[in-house]
Structure 1
Amino acid sequence: MRIGILMTGHAPEELISEIGDYPSMFRRLLDGHGFEFQSWAVVDGVFPNSIGDADGWLITGSKHGAYEDHPWIPPLEDFIRDVHASGRPLVGICFGHQVIAQALGGKVEKFAGGWSVGPTVYELEGEQIALNAWHQDQVVELPEGATVIGSSNFCENAALLYGDTILSIQPHPEFNATVIDGLIRIRGNLLPAPIVKRAHETLATPTDNDSFGQRIASFFLAERKG
């Protein structure tokens, strides 16, 4: 199965040699399931020729806001709607989670409650899981057809399911402690000091990256109607 990774951002240049760019993080997360991967840097205006270029699609995180005026966002939204209509599986992470909701009629905004950074506990379908967060923007209004399957006290719409074809989540199952530590070093000065302090102090908290990576893989591989 070929998974198309739509890169809506790049990891900080200073960290690439240490942590890799976003596609390499997702390859590690989804390793062992026989997937082939191909990436397109849509943030740089590089798009697939068609939704048929991959069997399933994944949209990465980004430093940009889904509501910002960038020339690559409207065609990405069109692509999302085409994938949705086709019934091919689509997974969105952080910005990907947000832009999917926006493309399908939801609303994303800069959350008045501030930032969530580092290990965070979510309630996901009756179970508690811990994943690393790095965001201020949130999905604040759901599109038609979206079901909330995960939330936290800070982020009400943290994980969404659209039928059996789209799965999206606000935190980053592809971010391990090394990634968060690097982001704190490079971008921590842009965040409130107490948020950064708390994230740094909890870096060693175990996360459920592997189990959520398994969930993403199973979602891609699931048989679907039609």
Structure 2
Amino acid sequence: MHIAVLVANTDESAFAQAHPKDSAKFAALLQGLRPDWQVSAFSVKDAEFPAERQQFDGWIITGSPASVHDSAAWVGRLFGLIREIVARGEPLFGACFGHQAIAMALGGVVGDNPGGWVFGAVDTEMEGEKIRLYAAHREQVLVVPKGAVVLGGNAECAVGSFAMGRGVLTTQYHPEMTQGFMAALVAEYAGKLPADVAARAKASLDVPVDCDVIAARIVRFFEDALG
């Protein structure tokens, strides 16, 4: 299977350069279960998009410090590509910014988190199953697109994930992040976050997240979508 990762992460800081790119993180996540899968990356935030009508077995849109409300040309172009992918019936997975971008592109509503920053490991629910994942977001999906089904969430984020038929699956969280990376991210952001948020984020790292559960769900999504 050949998966295209649309990299939306705009962070070009020294911190970001010291860690694997998001495309590499998702490749590791997928290939940990399916070593033969091929992953190609496109830095859409740098206006690097696939050739017109270029097809893949599946697509992933990454997270980003950018907002889906930004007026940058690449954001609007990404929305157009999302609509094309969905119209063609090709499976599309989105995480954090990707989750929000898919919602916006298809007619949903994204706005500020009522409680501000959500950062660190959090407990949520997906398809009736309790699951612990990493979070780093200040916005969330408030209204899903027409035809979408909310798969679960929590008190801080009611739309933690949604699906549209067999072709779209999203999560507000970060399945690609490892414990080591999240610990480094919490330390990097400690001085930029409200003190209580930073303290909770650091304390949350003591309990492991369900990387294996979400990885298996994503792999199953792509395999089921292709029959």
Instruction: Please say whether Structure 1 and Structure 2 have the same fold, judged by a TM-score greater than 0.5.
Output: yes
Residue 180 of structure 2: aligned partner: 178
Q: Which amino acid aligns with 1:80?
A: I
Residue 123 of structure 2: aligned partner: 121
Matched, 1:24 2:11: no
Matches of residues 138-177 of structure 1 in structure 2 within 5 Å?
Answer: 138-177=140-179
Residue correspondences, number: 225
SS at match of 1:204: coil
SS at match of 1:97: helix
Q: Which amino acid aligns with 2:54?
A: G
> How far apart are residue 68 of structure 1 and its match?
1.3
Residue 211 of structure 1: aligned partner: 213
TM, length-normalised to structure 1: 0.94
Distance 2:140 2:205 in 1: 23
Distance 1:133 1:115 in 2: 9
Distance 2:44 2:18 in 1: 23
Tell me, yes or no, if the aligned pair for 1:140 and 1:157 is still in contact at 8 Å.
yes
Q: Which amino acid aligns with 1:23?
A: S
> How far apart are residue 35 of structure 1 and its match?
1.1
Distance 1:224 1:161 in 2: 16
Tell me, yes or no, if the aligned pair for 1:78 and 1:103 is still in contact at 8 Å.
yes
> How far apart are residue 51 of structure 1 and its match?
4.3
> How far apart are residue 165 of structure 1 and its match?
0.1
Cα offsets for 1:151-208 (capped at 9, x unmatched):
1110000100011100000011111221222212222322111111111112121111
Q: CA RMSD in A?
A: 1.5
* Change in CA separation of 1:40 and 1:183 when aligned onto 2, cut-off 3 Å: same
Tell me, yes or no, if the aligned pair for 1:25 and 1:174 is still in contact at 8 Å.
yes
Q: Give the ranges of 4+ consecutive aligned residues of structure 1 lying more than 6 Å apart after TM superposition.
A: none
Distance 1:205 1:51 in 2: 43
1:132 to 109, 117, 134: 134
Distance 1:169 1:2 in 2: 21
SS at match of 1:164: coil
> How far apart are residue 123 of structure 1 and its match?
1.5
Tell me, yes or no, if the aligned pair for 1:177 and 1:204 is still in contact at 8 Å.
no
Distance 1:3 1:139 in 2: 25
Distance 1:46 1:96 in 2: 16
Q: Which amino acid aligns with 1:191?
A: L
Cα offsets for 1:99-138 (capped at 9, x unmatched):
0000000011122321111111111121100001111100
* Change in CA separation of 1:195 and 1:184 when aligned onto 2, cut-off 3 Å: same
Q: Which amino acid aligns with 1:159?
A: S
Tell me, yes or no, if the aligned pair for 1:124 and 1:150 is still in contact at 8 Å.
yes
